[in-house]
Amino acid sequence: MFPAASGRLSRTGAQCPPAPPARPRKEKAKPGMRMWIRLRAWLSGFLPFLLLVNPLWAAERDTLDADESVMFFPAIARARADGSITVNIEAWVFQEERQRVLDFALTSYMGVDLDEQAPESRALFEKRMRYFHTDSERDETIFVRIGDKVVSLPATNSAGRTHGEIRVGGDLVRWRDDGVGRVVYALEAPGHAMHGLEGYAWVLPEEGVFVVSDIDDTIKHSNVRDKKALLRNTFLAPFQAVPGMADWYREMAGHEPGAFFHYLSASPLELYPALSAFLREEDFPAGTMHLRESTTWRALYANRQDSMAHKTGVLDRLAAAFPRRRFILIGDSGESDPEIYADFARGHPEQIIAIYIRNVSGEDENAPRYRQTFMGIAAQRWRILDRFDPAAFFFGSYGK
């Protein structure tokens, strides 16, 4: 409490406390102390400069912990007019933490007792659940080596994700015969078990065809309409490819030079290793995978609104980044692919070649849902199909 008011008034008429007593004068620092104060001030100004010009010196001060891991995701690089390449790097930094309560919660929801499952199913469950047992690391800085450069990526966000762009020379691109290239980089973390982990980005021509494909119930049997069956197919059973889809995709890849595939799904990011292995094993064309980010075990699969927002956002970004590319969109009727693709087609009519929907709901093209969904879109641009026949579904050189 202040002592009794001195009688001074504020602008509002309230009494003000008395002015505080004057501070005693400080004694002058001794010569040795003055020198230390100056040195400390000089170091505080010079240290940021050291970190800027020598990031490796900073890396030695703040490296990955031994129990932290990094995962890279294939991204897109862009060729520039001067011959250089802007490489996008996407990474996730996390720490694995086994949480048996998570396993129990998931198996209880599925109505499954793990102890009663075959050894193969239990092993598969452990493998598929691995990246759900993680703690994403926030404010972590990692370094990558690309060519003769070592650069740092921005600090990770709350989901452990980081994204950076690096400009490099065109001589680092490994080109394919169809005009698509790849730039490889590696994690720079000397002394860490993951030092040298490779990632890559695709260098794509400005023109050509993008094939954008859903995964669940489009190229992989999942039974999305039954959530418990979906979870059992995801965590307890080997992935099963939809017959004929890999053949058809390879046919499209060979039909048009520069064709490139984007696998777009609302499945959680933690399933990336399992899904990328599925694509390789089933011989689907290589490409990028766009999965839902920042998910938790409490929301293994997105609701309708989140799924639509995720897929629409990816499509819009691809169209904006590559305005001269044209799209073939492939999905299924189990959830919202028809509506998502139709909205995209109305917003980008000149970029659409075709929309193919795999029929898993038993509705033919004359169903009210499709007549409403595809209203205003030319009938020859969309198809509802019970099966995919690679020989039957080219709109004459992709509708050109």
* CB 174, CB 182: distance < 8 Å: yes
Report d(CA 353, CA 253) in Å as an integer.
Answer: 15
pLDDT of residue 98: 80
pLDDT of residue 287: 96
Report d(CA 301, CA 303) in Å as an integer.
Answer: 7
Domains and CATH numbers, the chain: 65-97+133-203 (2.60.40), 208-399 (3.40.50.1000)
Q: What pLDDT digit, counting tens, does each position of 254-263 carry?
A: 887 778 999 9
The token pair at 140 is 């972590």
Q: What pLDDT digit, counting tens, does each position of 354-372 carry?
A: 999 999 999 988 999 999 9
Tell whether the model's pLDDT for residue 50 goes beyond 60.
no
pLDDT of residue 297: 55
> Terminal CA-to-CA distance of the chain, rounded, Å?
84
Instruction: Name the pTM for this structure.
Output: 0.81
Q: What pLDDT digit, counting tens, does each position of 259-318 carry?
A: 899 999 999 999 999 999 999 999 999 999 999 975 555 567 778 888 899 999 999 999
Tell whether the model's pLDDT for residue 57 goes beyond 60.
no
Tell whether the model's pLDDT for residue 232 goes beyond 60.
yes
Which has the higher per-residue pLDDT, 176 or 13?
A: 176
pLDDT of residue 112: 92
Query: How high is the mean pLDDT of the chain?
Result: 84
Which has the higher per-residue pLDDT, 376 or 16?
A: 376
Report d(CA 134, CA 96) in Å as an integer.
Answer: 4
Which has the higher per-residue pLDDT, 385 or 342?
A: 342
Q: What pLDDT digit, counting tens, does each position of 93-133 carry?
A: 999 988 788 888 899 999 999 999 999 999 999 999 999 99
pLDDT above 70: percentage of residues in the chain: 79
Report d(CA 101, CA 129) in Å as an integer.
Answer: 12
Tell whether the model's pLDDT for residue 141 goes beyond 60.
yes
pLDDT of residue 101: 84
pLDDT of residue 102: 86
Q: What pLDDT digit, counting tens, does each position of 204-231 carry?
A: 999 999 999 999 999 999 999 898 999 9
Report d(CA 147, CA 195) in Å as an integer.
Answer: 15
Which has the higher per-residue pLDDT, 386 or 165?
A: 165
pLDDT of residue 23: 44
Report d(CA 348, CA 298) in Å as an integer.
Answer: 35
pLDDT, average across residues 248-253: 92
